[in-house]
Structure 1
């Protein structure tokens, strides 16, 4: 049973939304679309890079962005079946605990891990030169090299019915990079739990 090695304190939905959007802003895959939505909403990147959780208007603007880009709060796309309310905490994971986190049930990550949804299996397959759907592994390998050089990553966002069975909501590339370097201890994360999270975190 996975248990969190060190709780750092309570988090919030507003912090989760900001963290999620900040992660996607730096993503090769999602960053361009997010910037387009920011521009359409007349917002600057500072809304995401320097969040002020005491600003209710900014919090609402970020939620609207996550709704527009990923279906948050609208029961669609990535957030289909995601519970309306969750308890959010900030934590550090040990290497063993991080290795127990599963990918979400998405075709690319299922294929990359050989069906297990375990990042350790993905790391082994990447080292063997295997690809998922012929997508290059270089971004994952580059992220692992960045970690080896001492770069710090934004927190992972993990969810589950309890803290003992977690699925990655945001940060799959970073989670895989951690696996490639052997899972250092003290990995930062936000954890969301809810009794009905199992409908999403299958």
Structure 2
């Protein structure tokens, strides 16, 4: 019998924003831009690394940062067509459930996975030495080795109309590393669901 997703408790949009920014802070691709916006706002990294969700002003600042860097709440960039009202829950995904999560519908991830947008297919292609857009696969391999060596990653963020059909919102590199590592059980995720999420999570 397949393991069933373990729902751990309710969350909030403020916590999603904090988790998203904390994940991107360590990103090779997005971290530098995020740090620049932090500095411009006169904020220290502690705003993201040690978020106080009870601080209304800090929550507002983090939302503004995610809006500036990724279009959150402004219907643009990554968050174009993202619904304003989302139910957020903490969950623990089994290996089978994690393998069923799809990548964002973006040309790089489509090519990396051979068109399926499934991380398992991407892992097979990476192992075979195939690249997407001629971008080296080293970050995925390095992250998988780090995980297998004992490093633990921040939670992934997935969204969908329901918890049965999820698309990765934040954490594509980590999701791919998990696939390369054979999808360990018990992957912690923040999951957002909304009836209108289908417009974003195609």
TM-score for the superposition, normalised by structure 2: 0.98
Compute the RMSD of aligned alpha carbons. Answer: 1.0
Counterpart of 2:9 in 1: which secondary structure? Answer: strand
**Which residue of 2 is the match for residue 120 of structure 1?**
120
Distance (Å, rounded) in 1 between the aligned partners of 2:83 and 2:4:
22
Structure 1 spans left out of the alignment, 5+ residues: none
TM-score by length of 1: 0.98
For residues 82 and 4 of structure 2, what CA distance do their matches in structure 1 show?
22
**Change beyond 3 A, Cα 1:3–1:82:** farther
Runs of 4+ in 1 over 4 A off after TM superposition: none
Residues 3 and 163 of structure 1 are in contact (CA less than 8 Å); yes or no, is this contact kept in structure 2?
no
- Structure-2 separation of matches of 1:86 and 1:52: 21
Structure 2: 5+ residue stretches without partners: none
Shift of 1:191: 0.1
Aligned to 1:79: 79
C-alpha separation in 2, matches of 1:116 and 1:22:
28
Residue 136 to residue 162, structure 1, CA distance change in 2 (3 Å): same
- The number of residues matched between the two structures is 201
Match of 1:134 in 2: 134
CA distance in 1 between counterparts of 2:174 and 2:112 reads: 14
The residue aligned with 1:46 is: 46
**Superposed counterparts of 1:185-196, under 5 Å:** 185-196=185-196
**2:92 is matched with which residue?**
92
Deviations 1:138-162, CA, capped at 9 Å, x for gaps: 0000000011111111000000000
Shift of 1:130: 0.1
Q: Tell me if 1:158 matches 2:184.
A: no
**Residue 149 of structure 2 aligns with which residue?**
149
| Larger CA deviation: 71-80 vs 5-14 | 5-14
Please say if residues 160 and 166 of structure 1, whose CA atoms lie closer than 8 Å, have aligned partners that are also in contact.
yes
1:67 is aligned to 67
What are the superposed Cα offsets for residues 90-112 of structure 1, whole Å, 9 maximum, x if unpaired? 01000000000000101111110
Cα deviation for residue 76 of structure 1 reads 0.2
